[in-house]
Chains A and B, each alone.
Chain A
């Protein structure tokens, strides 16, 4: 009989359902097959013209019915698709989930397609005044809904029968991990015995791409798209903008066992620490990321020598990969050179608000399958970053514990520690 309480006396939180969508496909099966064969989902952008753009590749999800319908619709469909897979796997009623919903999703804005169509629907006055005047004559709420920050979660709450006021959150590129953390904490507080945590991002619009491009954050290696995302490589030159979603059904281990659910993994601990240095850059000594990793280990009740594998944030930007190496080598010391550390983003790009949830899903599968997905495009190692990145080919390995890192603009640092088995 497993312990039902952790080292701090809190209910142990199990994962009983996992769902995922990335540019590699819909569902765990297709994603895992592609991920473990080192396949890249990065491809040329076709959703909008690429004239004037320095970056013309992405990991957009182009194969869903909503892929061309704007960020709000696609984000909803990504979230729904992953959540449906997770809830089904958990064996729970998919229209009466009965626990709270935590959704990590991108900030919303009125899509340009709607701006153009509203604006050009008449000719009086100009600029924003015309938009406002046209807006108040609208008879349908479709466009309005895409501009409300709570609407996607509201729809998901209806769809899955989640309980209470759903929380929509953003901690930038750490959002997906924060959604999981909120679910874990709610169960630990005893507020619920299950929670649905989703990270979804379908916001790879032209404007989003241009915004990141203006901040010099994106790779411009357009010629061979599959080669553009190359975390920890010397010639890495930015991340690849991508879309996707990950969903977890979280349950107290006690409730999961009581109903005979299959335990897919355990959420052992979460840690976070905000950085006060700069809006886009990390404190040069890496102390906030270091503190976040250490907080996650402490929360999990694990020592530095008890992590088997690190699912890296590994964005492929010069800054992130250098700082992630600095923080990991500070925490894990000499052992860092022999610990496997791989970046899923080498294949799927950076799914932004979804990344933490997608990568938690892959971390759990890594443990269950005893296979570590590789860091692909590792042809030109950065000599300043000495890591075992599981280069280019998957590796069979027993993995009992994983640290998954998520770092974001605005000083966001969130780390999750997962385990294969209850203690």
Chain B
């Protein structure tokens, strides 16, 4: 899994690329948490091809941290297989997920 910052001005866009599984989820969580600031953040999920329960745990910890800091986080472009897992576990109701990056930026008034 690679974590990169695609944009960092009034909005931060963090792109994830790879599988969010037992081998990658802890490091991914640490990397994303280190990048979270107070500004609105979009997590580009379009290249995340798989999420396991350990990946869900990391996403939940990111969501809890963001909420405690008052950071708005939107998840953009999540693929259907990952959305399926989000739906089974209720993450779809807990995380703000939108189909595309354009949708995410529109939500943020961009």
Same complex: no
Binding site for A on B (CB under 8 A): none
Binding site for B on A (CB under 8 A): none
